[in-house]
Amino acid sequence: MTKLKFIIGIIFMLLFIGLVMILAGNSILLIVDIASFVITVAVPYILVSLIYSPKEQNRMVSGILSTLPADRQLLKKGIAYLNSLKTLIVLTGLLGTLLGTISILVNLENPDALGPNFSVALITVLYAIMYVIIIIEPLKASAEKKLVSEE
C-alpha cells in the first residue's frame, strides 16, 4: 500500500461518513467532540510513545507504506506497534464511554447535563472504532501482506 492510496482511503472513508450524516439530516459537526478526540486519539498516542519513540514510529509506518521491500524485523515491530496502539485505542474508547456514563448517572437530576455526557460516552467509542477501522487495520493488513510476500 502506498502512502497516496492510504491517504485516499482515509479521505474516502471520512467523506462517506460525512455523506451518511448529511443524508440522515444531521450536521457533520454533530460528531465533533474535542474531549472524545483527546481521549481516543491523543492519549493512546502518548501512551504508545512511552514504548516507541516518535522517530521509531515514523520509521515503522514509513516502512509499511513504502513500495520498497521492507526489513522483516521492521515489519514485525510495526505490527506489534499497531497491535499496541489498537489495544490502547479500544481501551481508551471504553474508558471514555465509562466516564460519560458515570457523568450521566451523577447528573440524572439535571436533564441539561445528560445530552453532553451521553455524547461523550458514544462519540468516544465512535472515534475509537473509526480510528481502528480507517487507520490501524489497513496499516496492519498492509504490513502483514508485505511480511507474507517477502517470505
Q: List, for residues 15-34, the tens digit of each pLDDT value.
A: 887 787 788 777 777 777 88
Which amino acid is present at 66?
A: S
Q: What would the pLDDT profile of 109-148 be if each residue is shown by its tens digit?
A: 988 888 888 888 888 998 999 899 888 999 999 899 888 8
Record the pTM.
0.81
For residue 24, is it within any domain? no
For residue 14, is it within any domain? no
Q: What is the mean pLDDT of residues 30-48?
A: 86
Whole-angstrom Cα distance, residue 92 to residue 44?
7
Whole-angstrom Cα distance, residue 146 to residue 75?
8
pLDDT value, residue 137: 92
pLDDT value, residue 84: 93
Q: Which domain holds residue 93?
A: 32-149
For residue 113, is it within any domain? yes
How many structural domains comprise the chain? 1
What band does 150 get if pLDDT is binned at 50, 70 and 90?
A: low
Which cell numbers hold the place of 104? 450521566
For residue 54, is it within any domain? yes
Whole-angstrom Cα distance, residue 91 to residue 97?
10
For residue 122, is it within any domain? yes
For residue 6, is it within any domain? no
For residue 19, is it within any domain? no
For residue 18, is it within any domain? no
Is 1's pLDDT higher than 60? no
Whole-angstrom Cα distance, residue 69 to residue 108?
57
